[in-house]
């Protein structure tokens, strides 16, 4: 198994460059849990260069409660040095640790070209594409009142439609390798009235992009209490020819390989015999 979505920074202040000892502990924990390879994939919004060069292109509201809450998140969680981060991961890789140099690229309308220009400067192995924001709404931060209130103020089916629009735009941009936690929009437990409509759109639009999808156990730790994507959607995407990788989306060592026995069972019933790894953004199949 592979765990291709891991963070060394929790969602709290502080973005210290990861040291070799910490990365070695991550790899040792993974090996103990039967995981052959990990990827460190910090959120793009946590790096100063990306905030300075990419975020000015972000088409979003800059006034109101949501804008203020978003600005607070960026201020609290920012400050990372992208050069130092990539250098630390590359050094660990050169010293034999089984890890990939990665980044979780948040889709933000208007920023894809600027983001691609930045990421092209670095020897990334894997770029995860994710949607966390709809305009200035960080929808999966259900612990912040300004964000949580939006679930009561908005039509859930419209939210899902907007989310799927963003996923498809991200996939068709050609700027990432993997679509992370594909239906994370369900994270807080709010489900649409027409779930098949949104699944149908994804199954029609995503396979032609040639991207890999992430099968993640992270939702099993959330109110949604489900994998990302839902097993039924995973099977449809696999049947349509999409490649798969696996992840825990862990932010602490204890999350590495979380509930991978559950993922393995579903991969078997979906007929998945190989997972996709990456080498400088080139896909590399590996047996499950």
Residue 97's pLDDT band (boundaries 50, 70, 90)? very high
Provide the residue ranges of all domains of the chain, joining segments of one domain with +.
2-287
Residue 22's pLDDT band (boundaries 50, 70, 90)? very high
What pLDDT was estimated at residue 288? 84
CATH of domain 2-287: 3.20.20.140
Task: Write out the chain in H/E/C secondary structure.
Answer: CEEEEECCCCCCCCCCCCCHHHHHHHHHHHHHCCCCEEEEEEEHHHEHHHHHHCHHHCCCCCCCHHHHHHHHHHHHHCCECHHHHHHHHHHHHHCCCCEEEEEEEECCCCCHHHHHHHHCCCCCCEEEEECCEECCEECCCCCCHHHHCHHHHCCHHHHHHHHHHHHHHHHHHCCCCEECCCCHHHCCCCCCCCHHHHHHHHHHHCHHHCCEEEEECHHHHCCCCCCECCHHHHHHHHHCCCEEEEECCECCHHHCCCCHHHHHHHHHHCCCCEEEEEECCEEEEEEC
What pLDDT was estimated at residue 122? 98
Asked whether the predicted pLDDT for residue 152 surpasses 90, the reply is yes
Give the pLDDT mean for 223-240: 97
Please, what is the average pLDDT of the chain?
97
With a pLDDT cut of 70, the percent of the chain lying above it is 100
């Amino acid at each position: 198994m592979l765990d291709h979505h891991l963070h060394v920074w929790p969602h709290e202040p502080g973005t210290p460059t990861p040291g070799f000892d910490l990365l070695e502990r991550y790899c040792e924990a993974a090996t103990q849990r039967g995981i052959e390879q990990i990827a460190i994939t910090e959120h793009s919004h946590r790096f100063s260069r990306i905030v300075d060069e990419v975020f000015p292109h972000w088409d979003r509201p800059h006034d109101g409660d949501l804008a203020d809450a978003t600005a607070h998140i960026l201020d609290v969680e920012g400050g990372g040095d992208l050069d130092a981060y990539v250098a630390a991961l590359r050094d660990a890789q050169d010293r034999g640790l089984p890890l990939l140099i990665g980044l979780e690229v948040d889709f933000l309308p208007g920023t894809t070209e600027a983001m691609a220009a930045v990421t092209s400067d670095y020897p990334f192995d894997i770029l995860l594409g994710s949607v966390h924001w709809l305009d200035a709404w960080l929808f999966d931060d259900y612990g912040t009142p300004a964000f949580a209130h939006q679930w009561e103020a908005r039509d859930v089916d419209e939210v899902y439609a907007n989310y799927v629009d963003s996923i498809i735009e991200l996939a068709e941009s050609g700027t990432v390798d993997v679509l992370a936690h594909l239906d994370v929009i369900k994270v807080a437990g709010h489900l649409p009235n027409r779930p098949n409509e949104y699944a149908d759109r994804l199954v029609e639009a995503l396979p032609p992009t040639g991207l890999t999808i992430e099968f993640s156990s992270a939702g099993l730790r959330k109110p949604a209490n489900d994998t990302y994507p839902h097993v039924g959607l995973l099977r449809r995407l696999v049947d349509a020819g999409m490649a798969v990788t696996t992840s825990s989306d862990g932010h602490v060592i204890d999350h590495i390989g979380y509930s991978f026995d559950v993922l393995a069972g579903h991969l078997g019933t979906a007929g998945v015999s190989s997972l996709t790894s990456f080498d400088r953004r080139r896909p590399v199949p590996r047996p499950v």
